[in-house]
A and B are shown apart, each in its own frame.
Chain A
């Protein structure tokens, strides 16, 4: 199903970082990412959980001043305390790890709805990212994705936690998550949500900082129609921004295809096949999609550049 473009966010690149590490948080705005994911979960030591959640309120304006969106990843078992501490103006999304049941998301929704009202945030602003990282989460994927209109992006069922839960190898030369990725993606598509997934590319090293690899993965994902990136190391931000943005050459090709399609429609035909190159409503829709997405990426880049200029300090 075609996505609703008006609401489509540009989230090509992002950094997940422990909110307790000041040098990461203080430099985050300079990195050029589309979003920053402030982590309270696995990158924060148990004894710092209470301290960490108290840092979020000030970290939000700090990490967004270069134009990035701010997300927070909360703890699966500390929902109430974490949400009380983090729902403040400027927060775009709460990432909820190891989502397993629809009622968990309903509970998050209720608490967030109350906090938005109490704190003067426009109702419905804060999204919920329901991270599928366990077998139970896969089994209940559709219930989870449909539990709240705050879930606008859905997919996944890969990664370290999924690997551990299923007891599968993380870095192999074949796709070990075909079923779980399929279940979550089908749920997202049936609910007309943005699909958060990527085509399989073999990765046997596990490097989090290889820029070439990040670019190739982003480009493959974009060519497959996907839009959402994110990572753990500053090296991958620029490759992801570039890899997820259509090139000028592709834009020109798309414009030409649309032109040919319009001529086709005017002539009363609905498709043509010139030496294997098909032109029809589907190709036209893909071309239009590419042009719309490129424009959104360019707007996003402009927004970020203007935000950085307002701060008046040099970005890295």
Chain B
């Protein structure tokens, strides 16, 4: 698994901003998002797309003011125009909305190769997040994930709306538990990062109240998501918080590791810790959690520094 360990990228909150909305673009950096996604796909009316594309180069600079990374969300059917408008220095990658086939992924990959060369970007630096928002896309999820080495992550995006998945009497959104488990399993099999949150009624299309967003993120982290997209700036804080290990979790992981090391030094493979038994795998997971906590803190510090005008490289 290439994206774990101390060099992991911390991308807990992904704020979707309609690229044509000048006011939202101007204020996006105030949200504190780890990633700002300039959307050229669903949130931009068809007639506003040409103008929105012209603004992307400047918008990339505007939204990075708070230390956020920038992705652009593109439409696979308009990929040529969208990518030509988007590949500029300081772009971290693209989100392909409603992607349905590995062929579309290969096409995006080729275009990025060309544009990196043409525009003087570091070759192979741009990353891709695949948004599996349709049945066809989910059906071919694994093939899509392995179609390009640029794929960094996968998400269900706004599948609940695109696939018309409605609330069940239990409050769960129909089919979502299955689709989430499937996405998380396929992502890990392909070595990419699963993004999402466990939304429930009345959450809708990545839109939820801040408190519901926190709960969705917390549940989402528990089932394997590493961060989530959202629509409103007020959802960013809850996502950053819910995808960061709590102080309690970090300190428990620390005591666990201490007990494990103590036991190992006495020649044990399995160590009793309170009511629990700790082996190598459990210890490794505790270490990952501690690393994640450290990296989250570093990420938060780098954003604060950027906000004060002191750029610090992101971890």
Contacts and interface: CB of A to CB of B under 8 A. Distances in A.
A224 B207 contact: no
Contact of A224 (B45, B135, B139, B167): B167
Contact of B164 (A2, A182, A190, A270): A2
A196 B175 CA distance: 13
Contacts of B168: 199-200, 220, 224
A5 to B, nearest CB: 14
Contact of A270 (B45, B135, B162): B45
B169 A199 contact: yes
Interface residues of B, number: 28
A282 interface: yes
A42 B170 CA distance: 33
A1 B178 contact: no
A225 B174 contact: yes
Interface in A135-186: 142, 178-179, 181-183, 185-186
B202 interface: yes
A223 B182 contact: no
Nearest to B44: A270
Nearest to A182: B178
A57 interface: no
A1 B174 contact: no
Contacts of A199: 168-170, 174
Contacts, number: 69
A178 B170 contact: no
Contacts of B205: 278, 282
B182 A190 contact: no
A292 to B, nearest CB: 13
B215 to A, nearest CB: 17
B182 to A, nearest CB: 7
Contacts of A190: 135-136, 138-139
B139 A278 contact: no
Interface residues of A, number: 30
Contacts of B179: 182, 186
A50 B128 CA distance: 60
Interface in B137-190: 138-139, 161-170, 174-175, 177-179, 181-182
A199 B168 CA distance: 6
A1 B134 contact: yes
A203 to B, nearest CB: 12
A186 B174 contact: no
B168 to A, nearest CB: 4
Contact of A182 (B167, B182, B202): B182
Interface string A216-227: 000010011100
A189 B164 CA distance: 11
B164 A178 contact: no
B137 to A, nearest CB: 9
A201 B43 CA distance: 35
B204 interface: yes
27 contacts: A1-B135, A142-B139, A179-B181, A182-B177, A185-B175, A186-B135, A186-B138, A187-B139, A190-B136, A190-B138, A199-B169, A199-B170, A199-B174, A200-B170, A201-B169, A220-B168, A220-B169, A223-B166, A224-B167, A224-B168, A224-B174, A225-B166, A268-B45, A273-B207, A278-B205, A282-B162, A286-B166
Interface of B: 43, 45, 134-136, 138-139, 161-170, 174-175, 177-179, 181-182, 202, 204-205, 207
Given A225-B166, A282-B164, 14 more contacts: A1-B134, A179-B181, A181-B178, A183-B178, A186-B175, A190-B138, A190-B139, A199-B168, A200-B168, A201-B169, A224-B166, A224-B167, A224-B174, A225-B165
